[in-house]
Amino acid sequence: MDNRAIGMFDSGCGGLTVLKHYTEIMPNENFIYYGDTAHLPYGDKSPEKIMEYCDEIVKFLINKNVKMIVIACGTASANAYEYLKNKYDIEIRNIIMPTAKSIKEENIGVIATQATIKSNAWEKAIHTFSPNTKITSVACPLFVPIIENGLISNEGTPYFIQEYVKKLSIQENKISSIILGCTHYPLLKEKIQIEVGNNVQLIDIGEYSAKNTLEYLNQNNLSNDTNNIGKIELYSSDDFENFKTNAQKMGLSI
């Protein structure tokens, strides 16, 4: 058993959607979450710059004595995971692989940030387990700024969703499921679902990550052995009060 906290980070509030899944299925675990709000969005940054940001965050979390680190960011997972995994001894888990392992369908869509799409990380991961799956990927660079600036309910948001969804060519490509490849995107899930229709499943990668990590903790005897509700420590590199407000809106007890 290990009662230390699980470290988790993202470019901003998107990873809080992942943290929400974690707290629901392992409520007794403690978490230390870092949102790099000073540098968001990561999606328009170079891989080298993303690795630089993530390196500093991992050092911060290790200094907090966490027992493992979850990269709760699609862009960071796609561009910095291998670098971080090879540099540090601590267990580091990315947000992509757990979902990729679950894909069994022939035609699937992926929407993510520009940096993630450029990396081809989803294609590589999915084809490792399901080599015949046809993947249609579309970058949605405006989604993170819309979410981080509180514009989800803005009257113009459905227009941008519609434009990105068009690029997937759902009917032509016979897409039955779409991976929300950025952890911010579940915050737009209802609006995206309206656009794609109820026959298309939207896959929330945070849910698969949480289940996968719970399995890892149990298999390695690392679970928190107390019955108390775990605590969440929240940190950000800029504008902490707004960041904390976003967390509370998601129902997280900070």
Spatial neighbors of 20 by CB under 8 A, at least 6 apart, are: 206, 250, 251, 252
pLDDT tens column, 68-123: 999 999 999 999 999 999 999 999 999 999 999 999 878 999 999 999 999 999 99
Q: What is the mean pLDDT of residues 204-211?
A: 97
Q: How much is the average pLDDT of 24-47? A: 96
Residue 248: the pLDDT is: 85
pLDDT bin (cut points 50, 70, 90) of residue 64 is very high
pLDDT beyond 80 at 254: no
- Output the pLDDT for position 253: 74
Helix or strand (DSSP H, E) at 195? helix 189-196
Question: What's the chain's average pLDDT?
Answer: 95
What's the pLDDT tens digit per position in 152-192? 999 999 999 999 999 999 999 999 999 999 999 999 999 99
- Residue 105 is predicted with a pLDDT of 78
pLDDT at 29: 97
- pTM given for the model: 0.95
Q: Quick one: which of 141, 149, 155 has its CA closest to 111?
A: 141
pLDDT average, residue stretch 7-22 = 96
- For 120, the token pair is 């081809």
pLDDT at 87: 98
pLDDT band at 247 (very low <50, low <70, confident <90, very high): confident
> What local confidence, expressed as pLDDT, does residue 242 receive?
82
Catalytic residues: 73, 182
CB 177 within 8 A of CB 201: yes
Number of residues written out for the chain: 254
- What H or E segment, with its residue span, contains residue 147? helix 143-148
The 10 Å Cβ neighbour count of residue 114 is 16
